[in-house]
Amino acid sequence: MFTVVLMRSVFFFLPRNAHAYLDPGSGSYVFQIVLAFVLGGLYSLKIYWAKIKVFLKHAFSKKRD
């Protein structure tokens, strides 16, 4: 059983000829998606920064009696 699973795994990950066309604009599209994800995350951080700061201040401050 292990041999069968191993053989199928090996054949699954071996490269094959795709005979496909990759549009030059595809790289640009992927770059735009990554850039939008990063900028969206930074904007979200900007919006919630005050709440994050208060939470961290309460989490790491020493309690006084």
Token pair for 11: 């054949």
3-state SS assignment for residue 14: coil
Q: CA-to-CA distance for 14 and 7, rounded, in angstroms? A: 11
pLDDT score for 14: 79
Confidence check: pLDDT of 65 > 60: no
Condensed to tens digits (0 to 9), the pLDDT of residues 4-63 reads 888 888 877 877 776 777 777 888 898 999 999 999 999 999 999 999 899 989 888 877
